[in-house]
Amino acid sequence: MRRMWLAALAVALVGCPDDGPPECVTVDTLCAPLYQPTFENVFNNTIRMTCGNQLGSCHSAQGAGNMSLVDAPTAYASLLDGRVTPGDPGCSELIVRTHAPGKSYLMPPGSGPGLSAAERCALVQWVQAGAPGPVTVAPGTAP
């Protein structure tokens, strides 16, 4: 009985823990992106800088959640392995988790608001466009 009372008191003081992220969120696909929403820009300007750098980010070479975002090919493969639904940003885990200020599942984690609205917009528009992959250029040709 005492254990039950202590557990109830702990929930009352701390509150219920956040559930996991919802399957889908409402997003604005007509927003103003920080940069042109190509994979190269998404990777270089947001993912590599906040999620996959070698200076201690969660998804560096070790890959928290079995996801490494350390380089463009690895990042693209990891994102398209169930974390991004091409053409459906509102139901893509990447978008759901980056559009969650104040929630325990916000990415990148921390006490701040996460990514800027313009960065989130670039992610949304990249996914909305079908999440096209890195541009590969044949040797000796211009992109």
What distance in Å separates the CA atoms of residue 71 and residue 25, rounded to the nearest whole number? 28
Distance CA 86, CA 91 (A): 10
Query: Both tokens of residue 104?
Result: 């325990």
Residue 72 has pLDDT above 50, yes or no: yes
Q: What is the pLDDT of residue 103?
A: 72
Above pLDDT 70, what percent of the chain?
Answer: 61
Confidence (pTM): 0.73
Tens-digit pLDDT profile for residues 7-19: 333 333 343 445 6
The single residue listed with the structure tokens 């909305």 is 128
Query: For residue 51, is it left (φ>0), alpha (ψ between -120 and 50) or beta?
Result: alpha
Residue 63 CA to its chain's centroid (Å): 14
pLDDT in tens, 3-56: 333 333 333 334 344 567 888 999 999 999 999 999 999 988 888 776 544 444
Q: Span 112-138, mean pLDDT? A: 86
